[in-house]
């Protein structure tokens, strides 16, 4: 099982889309194993987006991410990173396919509703930035027997 970081950005929070977005992930079979409603500090935003520091959009991105509360989630499932990235859709809402989160709820190239880790390494680093030890939980859901075929001993 893989755990990934998802951030419902300020525009998703301000537009009242949190529940609808979380429902999509849960409907898919992903498990919420951590959650935090928070205001990202300038320092945390700078650390999280350090790879973009030299890009011209960096100041606006940090300003946007610190402008309003966000909902930070840890989601777990078999292939969770790729599943979440697919469900999010293309970065720019106007390019995202219908049926994806950005395709259904977004049109902007600046306000794109959601962040998701793009690799296991990024997920590990990002989860460590937003969650302290003990805040991402291991817990079982009896319904997972109906999400994953475990007949081979591993989730399929």
E strand or H helix that includes residue 50: none
Torsions phi, psi of 31, nearest 5? -105, 130
Q: Which of helix, strand or coil describes residue 142?
A: helix
Nearest residue to 33 (alpha-carbon basis) of 88, 102, 80: 80
Contact (CB, 8 A) for 30 and 130: no
Nearest residue to 106 (alpha-carbon basis) of 9, 1, 5, 6: 9
Strand bridging mode 31-38 / 70-77: antiparallel
Q: Which DSSP state fits 7?
A: E
Q: Which of 8, 40, 115, 117 is catalytic?
A: 115
Q: Which of helix, strand or coil describes residue 71?
A: strand
48 part of the active site: no
Active site (catalytic) residues: 115
């Amino acid at each position: 099982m893989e755990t990934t970081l998802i951030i419902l950005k300020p525009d998703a929070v301000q537009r009242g889309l949190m529940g609808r977005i979380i429902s999509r992930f849960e409907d898919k079979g992903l498990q919420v194993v951590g959650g935090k409603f928070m205001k990202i500090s300038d320092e945390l935003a700078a650390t999280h987006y350090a790879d973009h520091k030299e890009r011209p959009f960096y100041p606006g991105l940090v300003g946007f991410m610190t402008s309003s509360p966000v909902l930070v989630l840890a989601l777990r499932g078999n292939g969770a990173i790729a599943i979440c990235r697919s469900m999010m859709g293309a970065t720019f809402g106007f390019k995202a396919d219908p049926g994806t989160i950005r395709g259904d709820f977004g049109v902007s190239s600046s306000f794109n509703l959601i962040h998701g880790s793009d690799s296991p390494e990024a997920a590990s680093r990002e989860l460590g930035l937003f969650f302290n030890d003990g805040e991402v939980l291991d817990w079982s859901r009896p319904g997972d027997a109906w999400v994953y075929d475990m007949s081979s001993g591993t989730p399929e």
